[in-house]
Amino acid sequence: MADQIIQVRRVSRPTREKRFGALRRLYPGYFALVMATGIVSSGLRDIGWSAMSALLLVIGAICLVVLAAATAIRATVFPREVAADLSAPDRAYAFFTFVAACNVIGARSAGAAWPSVACVLGVIAFLAWAGLSYGIPVRLILGPRPRPVLAGVNGTWFIWVVGTQSLAVTASVIGTAYRGHAAIVETAGLAAVLMWSVGVVLYLMVATLVLTRLLLLEVRPEDLTPPYWVTMGATAITVLAAAGILGMPSTPATDAARPVLAGLGIVLWAFGTWLIPMLVLFGLWRHVLRRTRLEYLPQLWSIVFPLGMYATAGMELGRVVGLPIIEEIGRAWVWVAFPAWAVTFVAMLVTLLVRITPRLTPWLTRRTKPLS
């Protein structure tokens, strides 16, 4: 009997690997698709496009469930590949897209009168954030180093900041939604201020590391990948978190931080605005001067998300601090973010269809044999 069980196990694992082989190389940052969809949904809601906003919310929620299931299967069937991603400086911080995805969908759900969804997803996101925030740095610092960690520093490291600030956004949304419950509001206010503060310090640390890597080591076209746009996305979500906290009911924590939140919110919005032409120039250098082929990659969602976040953050900050010009720039930027989302989404569907069709053709052929 024991021999039979061993034989079944020996057969079943290769079978599972063959069945789920497409997940072996699943990009750990694919949750940026959910982040981009959710934040563009929020931007469309803010300009009055309720129906399209609701549609994108549904798409984002479905993508979150599908990607979470795919990631869980990958971790079960291909644990070595997942462990390798967690140990790779150029990929490890992409896992924080899961944290941000949960919070973006949660915050948008709260805006649709479902604050309980934000609470559940916020707890899941916090647990994932805590594990990744301590696990990845410890592994990179104390683990084996086949090459210097600095060589692997790239734009994905800013997703650590995005994940942290997304928790601040969710906390502020929960505090606003439950404004009638003093204990919840006070707890949410303290959590939001603390996470926002941690995110600001992390941004300074990561920005220093990324700039050091760009100045000290050779920059090749394959190094300037789309996640570098998260440099701006991290400033934008920090602005959004600050605006959310400023819009919360008064608590001791929010009152103490209010002057810093307003001042740094404007400073970071201005800095994020300054970054956009720089990032565009990086893209032109990569695709025009160095002739890198432009094609659909999962990393492209790391461009769409910052565009949507910049729009939403501008609208929120402008309303809260009373600067209509910032609000109007945010409203106008929705018409940059939404088309970018639509083009990238269509490109993703076409790419998936092209990859799936050759695999489906033999299966369909066997099941559609002509009747004799």
Q: Which residue has the tokens 């969710």?
A: 170
25-345: CATH superfamily: Voltage-dependent anion channel (1.50.10.150)
**117/113 Cα distance (integer angstroms):** 9
Is the predicted pLDDT of residue 319 greater than 70, yes or no?
yes
CA 307 – CA 277 distance, rounded (Å)? 13
Confidence of residue 371 (pLDDT cuts 50, 70, 90): very low
Reference 240, options 208, 199, 276, 202; nearest CA is: 199
pLDDT in tens, 256-315: 999 999 999 999 999 999 999 999 998 898 888 888 888 888 889 999 999 999 999 999
**CA–centroid distance for 195 within its chain:** 17
**CB within 8 A of 199, min separation 6: which ones?**
161, 164, 165, 168, 234, 238, 241
Alpha helices by DSSP H, listed for the chain, are: 2-19, 32-46, 50-77, 79-87, 96-111, 115-142, 158-177, 182-216, 230-246, 252-284, 301-321, 324-367
Q: What is the mean pLDDT of the chain?
A: 88
Chain segment 89-135, per-residue pLDDT in tens: 989 999 999 999 999 999 988 877 888 899 999 999 999 999 999 99
Identify the band that residue 366 occupies on the pLDDT scale cut at 50, 70 and 90: low
Distance in angstroms (rounded) separating the CA atoms of residues 44 and 336: 12
Residue that the structure tokens 């893209």 belong to: 283
What CA–CA distance (Å, rounded) separates 126 from 146?
Answer: 31
Contacts 24+ apart (CB under 8 A), 271-279: 271/235, 272/232, 272/235, 272/236, 272/239, 272/310, 272/313, 273/310, 275/231, 275/232, 275/235, 276/232, 276/310, 279/228, 279/229, 279/231, 279/232
